[in-house]
Amino acid sequence: MTKLQVAPYGSWKSPITSDMIASGTIRLEQVVLDGDNIYWIEMRPAEGGRCVVVRRSPEGQIIDITPSLFNARTRVHEYGGGAFVIHAGAVYFSNFSDQRIYCQDPGGQPRPITPEGKLRYADGIVDRHRDRLICVCEDHTFTEREPVNTLIDIDIHGKKRGQVLVSGNDFYSSPRLSPDGSYLAWLTWNHPNMPWDGTELWVGELKAEGGLSKIKRVAGGIDESIFQPEWSPDGILHFVSDRTGWWNLYRWIKGRIEPVTEMEVEFGAPQWFFGMSTYSFVSPDNIICTYNEKGIWKLANLNTATKKLRSIKTSYTDISYLRARSDKVVFVAGSPAEPASVVQLDLQSERIEVLRRSTDIVIDAGYISIPRAIEFPTEHGLTAHAFFYPQQNLDYIAPPGEKPPMLVISHGGPTSAVSSKLDLMIQYWTSRGFAVLNVNYGGSTGYGRAYRLRLNGQWGVIDVDDCMNGARHLVNLGEVDIDRLIIRGASAGGYTTLCALTFRDTFKAGADYYGVSDLEAMRKETHKFESRYLDRLIGHYPECRDLYQKRSPINFIDNLSCPVIFFQGLEDKVVPPDQTEKMFNALSRKGLPVSYLPFEGEQHGFRRAENIKRALDTELNFYSKVFSFRLADQVI
């Protein structure tokens, strides 16, 4: 048995390298079933962040469908999703560089079926009865006003000019055709709501020529969030609603709405992306679904006739993009010990087959930190949630009496949530001797609408309280070093990070990835989808301008007195680079230990392998200097 080496936390040598994370890992998205063929998208950092449609045949052969000069990625809402759809073996996809829709027939090359221009498309479905696609269109033609969103149709042959089917509201998503093609359902919402605040579900009858008539609202409103409308095989409209305070399943039958599930769990998720799916029909009265219970996703079989839910046991704790057919269900899933994978479940035997892993790298379990879900007290007598990862490396122990530094992660969104699935980015830190606390602060999803609404009017306060109290909770348990608490976050998590470093003194260093520092600037400059997001999170502008200024770290540089490192994509339209640059310049003038890495060609979130690697290694090197520990390897 190998003798354990004694070395300070942070200095442990790890086999989990930045090269492994950047080049050896892909992101898996949007599962689509077409007969016995299974399709999905792979986002590949090693190919510059290119998104590739991949097909798995019934014989198990996996091939790339998207040619090397194309990138299957839409920019609708900037976050995209729902970038492709399949019909009779043909792939219809949005191409990133020009945002046109291309048709790629089996064995052929892509050809555009939409005109050149400043239009973007997403969330398409095929209307096989009328040889067309129906999708969300985002029109950027007029730069002096915000883009216009509509539902439109597109001739699949690219010969006829499309028509606008639905317009007039700020946003649309989830067009869904009834099985006989006679009805169309869709979701819509208006400023200042985000889709998790309040949406409406509408249905219209399709006329022979393709237009809509007899349009009516089925459910939803400004305080009810509807998620994923779907028609059953026998033509009954189902959807997820949070009208009881939890996202549960409902159906619209004979003109009335009735619950299919009544549980204090979440069958929905925040619609940051198009093409999300948490349930799918295998027969008229049988649904395979996934639901979130306190941050853990579970799989189940739901009989809609009896309304009985039967658990399907798996090892997975994170499940998404679920699609089913009569005998099988396919989804993307991961667990604390297993990376995200495309998984197929045989419904008769309940045997699981992994079709594609996000990484083929095999790591000894002795280097993997398994998280535990924790609850901890926070402000106002409330409880918050997180996943705690202790440091873990089979080769090392620390000197007697030393406690580890802890990295507290504030997730993005902020209306989002962290997962417990295997994340090599977290393992990069824990295998080097850092503890990690991944916080689902108030405002996160997975814990009901009331928990989600905690952040309304309190962004920059509640999230900071919860990150701070989570760190103190672990300190009080004797798990981590009070003098080496670090906070890091990206996007909205970057804002939480900067607020924690500016307005509190719990953390001794921080890393900000393209985070918000100036709320007024964000309110004025960000893209349409999030342009009124702050109305709920902070308050109406300009009436609450004083509050925007009070909560903006850029206005209180004198309060910030610890080291910070910044990372920023120079093509970011969500949080423009000037916010990060102003913050960095102000701290530099103050003389603090501060660093800034801008990345050409990156947007909101880094996709290129070389940039992911450089950011991660630079962050580690920054902490080694701040806390005076020697790195096991030269990383930059």
The sign of the torsion formed by the CA atoms of 544, 546, 548, 551 equals negative
Distance CA 133, CA 156 (A): 6
Q: pLDDT tier at 183 (50, 70, 90 boundaries)? A: very high
- Give the relative orientation of helices 492-503 and 462-476 as an angle to the nearest 10 degrees: 70
Average pLDDT over every residue of 241-262 = 96
* Cα–chain center distance at 518: 23
For 442: left if phi > 0, alpha if psi spans -120 to 50, otherwise beta; the answer is beta
Q: Per-residue pLDDT averaged across 57-77, rounded?
A: 97
**DSSP-assigned beta bridge partners for residue 56:** 38, 62
Give the integer Cα–Cα distance in Å for 542 and 114.
40
Q: Which residue bears the tokens 């918000």?
A: 516
CA distances from 299 to 226, 248, 252, 357, 569 (A): 21, 14, 24, 19, 37
In this prediction, residue 636 has a pLDDT band, given cuts at 50, 70 and 90, of: low
Render pLDDT for 365-406 as a digit per residue (tens, 0 to 9): 999 999 999 999 999 999 999 999 999 999 999 999 999 999
| Alpha-carbon span 62 to 39, nearest angstrom | 9
Q: What is the DSSP letter of 411?
A: P
SS3 content of the chain, % helix, strand, coil (to 5): 20, 35, 45
Given this model, what pLDDT does residue 244 score?
Answer: 97
Question: What CA–CA distance (Å, rounded) separates 133 from 124?
Answer: 6
H/E stretch holding 466 reads helix 462-476
Residue 203: CB atoms within 10 A of its CB come to: 21
Q: Where are the alpha helices (DSSP H) in 477-608?
A: 492-503, 519-525, 534-537, 545-550, 577-590
Instruction: Outline where DSSP puts E strands in 445-601.
Output: 485-490, 509-513, 564-569, 594-599
CA pair distance 152, 150, nearest whole angstrom: 6
Tell me how far CA of residue 193 lies from CA of 76, 169, 532, 625, in angstroms. Answer: 17, 12, 7, 44
* Domain at 5-17+363-626: CATH architecture: 3-Layer(aba) Sandwich (3.40)
DSSP helix/strand/coil, 222:
coil
Identify the three-state secondary structure at position 465: helix
* Tens-digit pLDDT profile for residues 552-602: 999 999 899 999 999 999 988 888 898 899 889 989 998 889 999 999 989
Q: Is 160 helix (H, G, I), strand (E, B) or coil?
A: coil
pLDDT of residue 89: 92
The one-letter amino acid code at 355 reads L
Nearest to 197 by CA among 438, 384, 412, 414: 414
- Give the whole-angstrom CA distance, residue 61 versus residue 574: 39
**CA 60, 61, 64: angle at the middle one, nearest 5?**
135
- The strand pairing partners of 323, in sequence order, are 330
Tokens of 456: 């309304």
pLDDT digits (tens, 9 = 90+) for 116-159: 999 999 999 999 999 999 999 999 999 888 999 999 999 999 88
Query: Helix, strand, or coil here: 293?
Result: strand
Average pLDDT of span 164-184: 97
Q: For the whole model, what pTM was predicted?
A: 0.94
Instruction: Please list the residues that pair with 239 across neighbouring strands.
Output: 250
Tokens coding 498: 């900067």
Average pLDDT over residues 215-220: 97
Domain boundaries, the chain: 5-17+363-626, 277-358
pLDDT exceeding 90 applies to what percent of the chain? 88
- Residue 542's pLDDT is 95
Residue 536 has which token pair? 């709920």
Name 22's Cβ contacts closer than 8 Å, sequence gap at least 6.
Answer: 45, 46, 609, 610, 612, 613, 616
According to DSSP, the β-strands at 50-56 and 485-490 are unpaired
Question: For residue range 314-346, what is the model confidence (pLDDT) as tens digits?
Answer: 999 999 999 999 899 999 999 999 999 999 999
Q: Coil, strand or helix: which one is 619?
A: helix
Q: Residue 434 corresponds to which amino acid?
A: F
CB of 191 within 8 A of CB of 175? no
Residue 1 has pLDDT above 60, yes or no: no
Non-local CB neighbours of 2 within 8 Å, separated by 6+ positions: 395
Residues of the chain above pLDDT 70, percent: 99
What pLDDT sits at residue 154?
Answer: 96
Distance CA 472, CA 466 (A): 10
State the amino acid at position 136 in one-letter form: V
Which of the residue ranges 19-23, 487-491, 617-621 would you say has the lowest mean pLDDT? Answer: 19-23
Coil, strand or helix: which one is 550? Answer: helix
Mean pLDDT of the chain: 95
pLDDT at 432 over 90: yes
Alpha carbon distance 156, 90 (integer Å)? 10
Highest-scoring range by mean pLDDT, 13-27, 406-420, 588-602? 406-420
* Lookup: tokens for 230: 């779907």
For residue 606, pLDDT beyond 90 = no
Cis omega (within 30 of 0) for bond into 115: no
User: What residues contact 425, with CB distance under 8 A and at least 6 apart?
Assistant: 21, 616
d(CA 596, CA 599) in angstroms, rounded, equals: 10
Cα 622 to Cα 122, 553, 563, 631: the distances in Å are 40, 21, 9, 11
